[in-house]
Amino acid sequence: MPNDKSIPLGRRQILTAGAAAAAGAIAAPYVANAQAGATTTFKVQTSWPAGVGLETFKKWCGTIKDKTGGELEFKPFAAKELVGDFELLDGVRNGVVEAMNSFTLYWAGKVPATAFLSSYVLGLRYPHEWDVFFYSKGGLQATRDIFAKLGLHYVNRIHHGPNIIHSKKPIRSFEDFRISSCACPAA
């Protein structure tokens, strides 16, 4: 065929060229993936030091590569394996680990709002109540906004049961709740 732009293309030539372009467009992502072929591996540390929590975390990490078609893999680490207990947040920010698996409450000292994004006394009690907050009342986006200020992306929350009490001192009796400077009358 001459290279003269004044000669119009025939119907068959247009269809053939269109089919070739469509086949190329459809194949392009697969060619790119085949060329890349590499799996991105994230080091992910949890707050669980041992036991069923750590085992569950490791099993979950083992499913990521299959779920992402081989594009992403999580290499799990137990508490303190790469960074200390309360250094995880900074560990992610500084690139020591790519991600963390931890309750938001652990970061209340650095990010006070996170105290209300996990279990707390007189707060939401059951996982379904947290689901409503996170997925129907804007809690997930609010949490993502909080972590974005730190340069981090919050993926999702950890389910847990009824409220637990976090305290810097052991609580072994009702008396341990009493505040020494309380103006309340003694019971």
pLDDT, tens digit (0-9, with 9 covering 90-100), for 125-138? 788 888 899 999 99
- Interval 3-60: pLDDT, tens: 555 555 555 555 555 555 555 556 555 555 555 579 999 999 999 899 998 999 999 9
The pLDDT of residue 30: 56
Q: Is the pLDDT of residue 65 over 70?
A: yes
Please say whether the beta carbons of 48 and 78 come within 8 A: yes
> Would you give the end-to-end CA distance of the chain in angstroms?
102
Give residues with Cβ within 8 angstroms of 156, minimum separation 6.
140
Q: What confidence tier does 180 reach under pLDDT thresholds 50, 70, 90? A: very low
Q: How many CB atoms are closer than 10 A to CB 174?
A: 8
User: What's the length of the chain?
Assistant: 187
The pLDDT of residue 176: 78
Q: Is the pLDDT of residue 2 over 60?
A: no
